[in-house]
Each structure stands twice: as C-alpha cells, then as structure tokens.
C-alpha cells in the first residue's frame, strides 16, 4: 500500500485526499518511482478545479514533477534500472489524472525521466525542470533571446518567473520583473532583476517606457493574460514577442488587435509540455540547465516545504500568491 494524493470531485484544496492505495506495477515502457519530493505547479490547481486541458477522471491523481528512486521497471525499458535517482520532466506523455506523481509512489513513462544534478537534494531535484525548461523553451529556443535585449517577466516571484530572471540575466539581457505587491520588490532585486515594477503602485506602460527610453521591451513572458495582456502589448518595442504560458486571469482575454497592429507584435501561445516532445530542442536545453546548475549560475529557489499530509495547506499557500520560488511537498 502507498499513500497517494487523489481527488474525487472538482473543487478547492479541501477536495484533496491522501488515500491508501494498493501497489501498482509498471507496464511496458513504464517505471515505478519511490517518490521523495514533489514540486507543485499551477497546472495541478487547474486540474483540481476542472479547468485544465486534461479533464480529471475520478478518483483522479495529479502532479507532473517529482524526484525519487526507481524501484521497478516495466518491459522494454533499457535506459533505466532499479536504484536510479531520477526526476520527472513535465510532458504531454504523462497524464496527470492517471499517472500523477503526488504520493509515495508513481508510475510514469520512462521517456519523461531524467537524472538531475548530483549536487542537488531531492527537494531541489523536484524543482528544476518545470521552471527552467518553461523559461528556456520560450525565451531562448523560440524567442532567440540575445544579450542586450529587455524582457518583461510577469508573475516574477513564481518559480518560473524566478527561473526566467536567472536565465535572462545569465545570458546578458535586462529583466523588468513585474509583481503586484511591493513586499516582493527587494527580494526580486536580490534575485537578479535589474528593474521591478509594482503594478499596485506603478503604471506598467509608463515605467517600461522610462526604463527603455521609450523603445519598449523586446520580449515578454506572461502566465496571466486578461487585461494585463493589453498593457503588455502597449509596453513592447516594434516586432516584439509576447509568450503566453498560462491563464491565471479567471475571466476572458480579449485580443489586443490595435496595439498588435501598431507595433507588428507576435503573441505566442506556449506550453512546456509541447516543447519537451522535440528532442532536438529538449536535449540542448537540459544540457544547458544542468551545466549552469552545476556551475552555480542557476539556483532553484525553494520557498517552502510541506509534508504530504499537509497537501491541502500546500495548495492553499500556492493560491495565496505569497510564495517566492518553488513550493515542494515531501513524502
């Protein structure tokens, strides 16, 4: 028997249960992991609420990101063996509702596994792939980020936002971090942002114009959309690219046609789950991330750690937007 987080109906954090579930066994091309740590992501909140692109099948599991030790391998698995220390890469190949990694044990496709740098703990190992691959895929692989450019990063205190700040700074570009609350302003500067705009107190468009001497930003990296998308469009330089990688705004998002036309902008819908399916893009991204973590240039920031029994509290905390970095759950 293993303790597995499941939910039996859609709803808030209170629907999450830690159930005792009979052991299951991997099929062909699958492995079973003895999970040590779980990285929390907004995708799990959306699945729990029934608004994710994958719909839950009850009782539904959830979770994309975990670190642990392989304890069983299925048929046709030759690249992994029992005892290997691994973490999971979020991918369309992994079904949250069927194979979610929240729990003491998880069965996942062998193709979503990767070794994480040996300098990291399991807690850190569960907190690298979603954030760094999301930022790298959009800004570097698709956005062709160059030294000297200016990048707007909204939701900057999230784990992905911080990963973007670290990555952009490392590659010689300038970060404009955007947050709602001035409490997060000092730590965002400390994490490497050259500029921080607090939207509760400052006008995004005016501040970006001041920072860029009226030119606007070259790239924007946004998981919110909604009315903020129009503000971002009006903060961009001509031919700028805006990567939308989430939908945190609960209402509709109107297409900002006029600022798009005025500046010849591109709005690009982006999912890391799709990016990782292209090995020609994924492999160099992984190599770069591992190399930079091992050299200390990239550093996964852990905000807080919860035990598995406190999974409801962990989700409530994630929804509070008070965190600065990754929330991790240990088994």
For 25-53, letters b (16+ CB in 10 Å) and e give ebeeebbbbebbbbbbbbbbbbbbeeebe
Residues 122 and 134 in one domain: no
Residues 113 and 134 in one domain: no
Residues 164 and 112 in one domain: no
Residues 169 and 34 in one domain: no
Residues 254 and 135 in one domain: yes
Inside any domain, residue 278: no
Residues 264 and 134 in one domain: yes
Inside any domain, residue 261: yes
Inside any domain, residue 279: no
Which pLDDT belongs to residue 230?
A: 94
Inside any domain, residue 72: yes
Residues 154 and 249 in one domain: yes
pLDDT in tens, 244-290: 998 888 888 888 999 889 999 999 999 999 999 999 999 999 999 99
Residues 63 and 111 in one domain: yes
Residues 245 and 124 in one domain: no
Residue among 96, 88, 4, 85 nearest 49 (CA): 96
What's the domain count of the chain? 2
Residues 145 and 231 in one domain: yes
What CATH number is attached to the domain comprising 184?
A: 3.90.180.10
Enclosing domain of residue 118: 2-128+300-330
What pTM was computed for the model? 0.94
Inside any domain, residue 104: yes
Do 110 and 77 meet the contact criterion of CB atoms below 8 Å apart? yes
pLDDT in tens, 193-205: 999 999 999 999 9
Residues 220 and 313 in one domain: no
Residues 72 and 165 in one domain: no
Which pLDDT belongs to residue 250?
A: 85
Please say if the pLDDT value at position 89 is more than 90.
yes
Which pLDDT belongs to residue 21?
A: 95
């Amino acid at each position: 028997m293993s303790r597995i987080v499941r939910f039996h109906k859609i709803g808030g954090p209170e629907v999450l249960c830690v159930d005792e579930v009979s052991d299951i066994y991997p099929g062909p091309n699958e492995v079973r992991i003895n999970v040590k740590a779980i990285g929390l992501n907004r995708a799990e909140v959306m699945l729990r609420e029934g608004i994710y692109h994958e719909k839950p099948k009850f009782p539904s599991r959830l979770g994309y990101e975990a670190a642990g030790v392989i304890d069983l391998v299925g048929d046709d698995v030759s690249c992994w063996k029992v005892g290997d220390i691994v973490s999971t890469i979020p991918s369309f190949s992994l079904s949250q509702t069927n194979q979610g990694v929240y729990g003491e044990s998880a069965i996942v496709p062998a193709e979503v596994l990767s070794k994480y740098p040996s300098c990291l703990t399991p807690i850190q190992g569960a907190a690298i792939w979603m954030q760094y691959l999301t930022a790298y895929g959009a800004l570097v692989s698709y956005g062709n980020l160059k030294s000297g450019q200016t990048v707007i990063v909204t939701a900057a205190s999230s784990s992905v936002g911080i990963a973007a700040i670290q990555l952009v700074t490392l590659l010689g570009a300038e970060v404009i971090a955007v947050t709602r609350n001035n409490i997060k302003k000092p730590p965002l500067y400390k994490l490497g942002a050259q500029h921080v705009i607090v939207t509760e107190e400052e006008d995004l468009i005016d501040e970006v114009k001041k920072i860029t001497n009226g030119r606007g930003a070259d790239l924007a990296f946004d998981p919110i959309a909604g009315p903020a998308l129009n503000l971002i469009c009006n903060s961009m330089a001509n031919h700028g690219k805006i990567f939308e990688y989430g939908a945190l705004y609960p209402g509709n998002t109107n297409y900002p046609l006029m600022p798009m036309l005025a500046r010849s902008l591109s709005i690009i819908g982006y999912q890391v789950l799709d990016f990782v399916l292209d090995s020609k893009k994924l492999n160099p991204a992984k190599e770069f991330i591992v190399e930079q973590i091992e050299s200390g240039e990239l550093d996964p920031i852990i905000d807080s750690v919860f035990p598995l029994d406190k999974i409801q509290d962990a989700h409530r905390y994630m929804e509070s937007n008070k965190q600065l970095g990754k929330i991790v759950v240990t088994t």
